[in-house]
Amino acid sequence: MKRVWLIARQEYIKYVTRRGFLISVMLFPVWIGLVAFLPRALDRATPSRVFAVIDRAGGYETAIADEIARDDTASTLSALSEYAHTNADMVELRAGAPGIAGVLDNPGDEREVEAFRNSGGVTAMLAGMSRFLKPHAPPFVPPVPKFKLVPAPRELMETTPDTFADVARLYLTGARAVPVDGTSAVLLAVVVLPKDFGVNDSVAAQYWGTNLTDGELRGFLKQTLGDSLRWRAVHRLVPDEAAARSALDSSANIEQINPARGGGGHVGFGDVVASYVPMALAFLLFLVTFMNSSVLLQSVIEEKSTRMIEVLLSCATPREIMSGKLVGVIAVALTTILLWALGLFGVMSLFSQDAIGLALGGLKALATVLQRWVAHLLGVRVAITPLQRIDNAAWRWHVGLDVESMALLNDLYEDRPVDAERTGRLISLFRLEFENPAEMRTDVAGKPVYLGLAMSADGTLRLKPQNLLLNLPLAAPM
């Protein structure tokens, strides 16, 4: 067994000191990042797909235009929600404008999309959230619409079936352009809906286009026209329009319950994700081992070609040699996963303290203990969340959970200079929110209270949770 570990140690050191190992460790996360973010970036850079519809059946062009408008509204709301969560104080926004915050927190909800459209769209929403934007926040830039429906050129409308292909070719190849928002553009497609479309099942919609690689517009048209056909069929059976739309929009909600769990057994999104973690780790280990197996094969070939294997066989059995090599490869695989995990932790530490709190669990557990402690002793229900930094430049109230953090927060609040050594001793910040703002003093009602936790100069933490009992801005002080 000693010889196995010696061989494994030698193989491990040989693998991890190669440039190929370092390159593979760095390139794989880069590849994952490209796969995750490149399609999104390309989608944002893709110009609108301009097309025209010749609706000889009647009514379908309006349905397509309505669906494009709904799609544009949904994508604009999604972009606005991302903009708000990046450039606005969402805590203040939820307290001062709960209606706007509700729409921005749920951009995928059809009801919120409809509320966004009926409330005045982007202009009204930006006006309502303007006072909650952070200083120097960039202006909001709406996303480029995916599809642009333009009126069909008169020449295409009036041409005969014999010459339609020749005329359509001129518009689809760029020989002729169509006006779009004060400029000219080339048609990506011309959609022709014959007179008997929707009446005779054998009659299909015609999609005229030269770009065969972009199937997004075809998919959108197929879905929209299919929905329109179903709507017409239901409306013939149910003349009342509201009842017909309600029938089409009906869907079943399924709540997953695990009887082995406490608290009613409700299964949340985190539970679903956690169930996939072991499988994901197993796949990752398999992937990394597969990546490093080629190194093992190359090592065996090199040792055989240089006759080094004969030297090894004089000191160990073939079973010991292969076992040591396999243990070395597995150790390299585990090292690779560890390096990726440390890299992910580093990125999280730069961008999201909440994510670190979830990863470590300690700060979140402390926050939960403080919540229950305040509720038990003061009878006040609060929510406490770990933070990386305080983005609210005009915060109104803070409490230090120890002497050091109280002094530090006081200096920051008064804009007094704080050296890097003191800020380096700060362990964490927390945001405390009252569930019932009426239990707070009227001058700070609805505003968050920020908490701090810091070490002394000798690295000692002296937690004083009683500060919460004495310094919270209660409407009725203890």
Shared domain for 206 and 289, answered yes or no, is no
CB contact at 8 A, 341 and 29: no
Using a 10 angstrom Cβ sphere, with 0-12 exposed, 13-18 middle and 19 or more buried, the burial of residue 89 is: buried
- The first and second tokens of residue 56, run together, are 């000889």
Average pLDDT over residues 432-447: 89
Q: How confident is the model at residue 346 (pLDDT cuts 50, 70, 90)?
A: low
Question: What's the pLDDT at 263?
Answer: 55
Question: What's the pLDDT at 261?
Answer: 62
Shared domain for 279 and 367, answered yes or no, is no
Cβ neighbours for 426, distance < 8 A, ≥ 6 positions apart: 405, 408, 452, 453, 454
Whether residue 41 lies inside any domain: the answer is no
Question: What's the pLDDT at 222?
Answer: 92
Q: Which has the minimum average pLDDT: 4-13, 41-50, 228-237, 258-267?
A: 258-267
Domain boundary among 248, 279, 303: 248
Over the stretch 5-53, which tens digit does the pLDDT of each residue have? Answer: 887 887 778 777 877 777 877 877 777 777 767 776 666 667 889 999 9
Average pLDDT over residues 66-84: 91
Shared domain for 182 and 115, answered yes or no, is yes
Shared domain for 95 and 167, answered yes or no, is yes
Question: What's the pLDDT at 287?
Answer: 75
Shared domain for 73 and 13, answered yes or no, is no
Question: What's the pLDDT at 192?
Answer: 93
Q: Which has the minimum average pLDDT: 200-209, 390-399, 455-464?
A: 455-464
Q: How confident is the model at residue 167 (pLDDT cuts 50, 70, 90)?
A: very high
> Within 13 Å, how many C-alpha atoms sit on residue 263's CB side?
3
Domain boundary among 217, 248, 279: 248
Q: Round the average pLDDT of the chain to a whole number and report it.
A: 82
Give the C-alpha separation, 80 to 127, whole Å: 12
Residue 64 has pLDDT above 90, yes or no: yes
- The first and second tokens of residue 324, run together, are 């040591």
Find the domain containing 284 and state its range.
2-31+267-351
Whether residue 180 lies inside any domain: the answer is yes
Whether residue 331 lies inside any domain: the answer is yes
Shared domain for 97 and 227, answered yes or no, is yes
CB contact at 8 A, 78 and 108: yes
Domain boundary among 351, 382, 397: 351
Question: What's the pLDDT at 147?
Answer: 93
Whether residue 179 lies inside any domain: the answer is yes
Whether residue 403 lies inside any domain: the answer is yes
| Domains contained in the chain, number | 3
Whether residue 476 lies inside any domain: the answer is no
Shared domain for 104 and 163, answered yes or no, is yes
Average pLDDT over residues 254-260: 74
Shared domain for 18 and 85, answered yes or no, is no
Question: What's the pLDDT at 189?
Answer: 93
Q: Which has the minimum average pLDDT: 98-102, 225-229, 442-446, 465-469?
A: 465-469
Give the C-alpha separation, 283 to 277, whole Å: 10
Shared domain for 156 and 271, answered yes or no, is no
Shared domain for 148 and 68, answered yes or no, is yes
Whether residue 258 lies inside any domain: the answer is no
Whether residue 257 lies inside any domain: the answer is no
Over the stretch 308-320, which tens digit does the pLDDT of each residue have? Answer: 777 777 787 878 8
Question: What's the pLDDT at 451?
Answer: 92
Residue 359 has pLDDT above 50, yes or no: no
Over the stretch 111-128, which tens digit does the pLDDT of each residue have? Answer: 888 888 888 888 888 888
Selection from 79, 71, 75, 72 nearest residue 140 by Cα = 79
Average pLDDT over residues 144-173: 91
Give the C-alpha separation, 290 to 292, whole Å: 5
Shared domain for 223 and 133, answered yes or no, is yes
Shared domain for 78 and 185, answered yes or no, is yes
Give the C-alpha separation, 219 to 448, whole Å: 47
Q: Which has the minimum average pLDDT: 74-78, 102-106, 263-267, 371-375?
A: 263-267
Question: What's the pLDDT at 331?
Answer: 80
